[in-house]
């Protein structure tokens, strides 16, 4: 079985260090993590541009911004009423209870995660993205690409928490590694391990259960 750290090294050698998350500030990362739910990143970027032009990407400004105005600004990201409300809930919560992100993030990962998960519209993936990329604490983010790739390579089907535990038990807890490894999963998911996978050019194909079973059934048919 391919060790996970070697799995990471193979992807990193292929795609290079990906330097995620593409954002200028922690507030922008949080905005992106909330707006990206059920949306393409291209549309999220349009909404972020609107927020930047309006100069409202800060905890205090977003907490004080009129909801209707916020809806208009985030409209390109889709489900804009729901997302504007979620963004307001998040920023209001931080502003009213902690004033600043520094104060909010100044707790251990478990406490922070527990608190994030209580906020409306913040699920495990969003919470973990905020913890890893904005608070810069080591927790592994699981998304649909990660699940699909692990399932195909190792033949392991796990839910969010099981898969997160599995990955975290196999590699050292390191924020930079976790950030880049998650980005590598996303890159492979977009480049090769799509719904219909492009296995021939995939750097993991010699280790992949899905690929080898596909090939052996091809050989069997011959």
- Contacting range for ligand SF4; rule: CB under 6 A; set: 6-14, 124-132, 173-181, 201-209: 201-209
Q: Does 105 bind ligand SF4 (CB under 6 A)?
A: no
Least separation, in Å, of the C-beta of 201 and ligand SF4? 8
Segment contacting ligand SF4 (CB under 6 A): 23-31, 54-62, 133-141, 199-207? 199-207
Query: Under a CB-based contact definition with an 8 Å cutoff, are residues 84 and 71 in contact?
Result: yes
* 146 contacts 182 by C-beta, under 8 angstroms: yes
Q: Give the Cα separation of 154 and 108 in Å (integer).
A: 32
Question: To the nearest whole angstrom, how small is the minimum distance from the Cβ of residue 143 to ligand SF4?
Answer: 15
Gap between the Cα atoms of 168 and 212, Å rounded: 26
> Among residues 105 and 210, whose Cβ is nearest to ligand SF4?
210
Residue length, the chain? 222
Applying CB under 6 A, the span of 16-24, 122-130, 138-146, 198-206 interacting with ligand SF4 comes to: 198-206
Gap between the terminal Cα atoms of the chain: 28
Say whether residue 129 binds ligand SF4 (CB under 6 A): no
Structure-token pair, residue 17: 């260090």
Min CB(39)–ligand SF4 separation in Å: 24
> What CA–CA distance (Å, rounded) separates 48 from 73?
8
Instruction: Determine, following the binding rule CB under 6 A, whether residue 10 of this chain makes contact with ligand SF4.
Output: no
CA–CA separation, 77 and 71 (whole Å)? 10
Which one of residues 152, 179, 186, 187 is an interface residue with ligand SF4 (CB under 6 A)? 152
Identify which of 34, 99, 30 has the alpha carbon closest to the alpha carbon of residue 64: 99
Identify the residue among 62, 135, 142, 193 touching ligand SF4 (CB under 6 A): 193
Closer Cβ to ligand SF4, 90 or 210, answer by number: 210
Residue 153 burial (CB count, 10 A): 22
Task: Report the residue number, 80 or 210, with the smaller CB distance to ligand SF4.
Answer: 210
- Please give the distance of CA 53 from its chain centroid, rounded to a whole number: 25
Binding-site size, ligand SF4 (CB under 6 A): 14
Binding site for ligand SF4 (CB under 6 A): 149, 152-153, 192-193, 197-199, 202, 204-205, 208, 210-211
């Amino acid at each position: 079985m391919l060790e996970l750290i070697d799995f990471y090294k193979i992807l990193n050698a292929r795609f290079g260090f990906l330097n995620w998350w593409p954002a200028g500030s922690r507030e922008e990362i949080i905005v992106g993590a909330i707006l990206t739910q059920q949306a393409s990143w291209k549309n999220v970027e349009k909404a972020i541009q609107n927020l930047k032009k309006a100069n409202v990407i800060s905890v205090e400004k977003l907490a004080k911004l009129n909801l209707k105005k916020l809806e208009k600004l985030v409209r390109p990201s889709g489900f804009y009423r729901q997302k504007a409300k979620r963004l307001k809930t998040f920023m209001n919560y931080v502003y009213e209870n902690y004033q600043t992100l520094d104060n909010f993030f100044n707790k251990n990962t478990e406490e922070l995660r527990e608190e994030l998960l209580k906020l409306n519209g913040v699920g495990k993936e969003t919470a973990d993205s905020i913890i890893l990329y904005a608070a810069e604490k080591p927790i592994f983010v699981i998304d649909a690409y990660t699940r699909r790739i692990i399932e195909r390579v190792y033949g392991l089907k796990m839910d969010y928490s099981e898969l997160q535990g599995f990955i975290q038990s196999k590699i050292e807890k390191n924020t930079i590694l976790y950030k880049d490894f998650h980005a590598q999963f996303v890159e492979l998911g977009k480049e090769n391990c799509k719904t219909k996978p492009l296995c021939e050019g995939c750097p993991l194909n010699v280790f992949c259960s899905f690929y080898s079973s596909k090939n052996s059934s091809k050989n069997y048919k011959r």
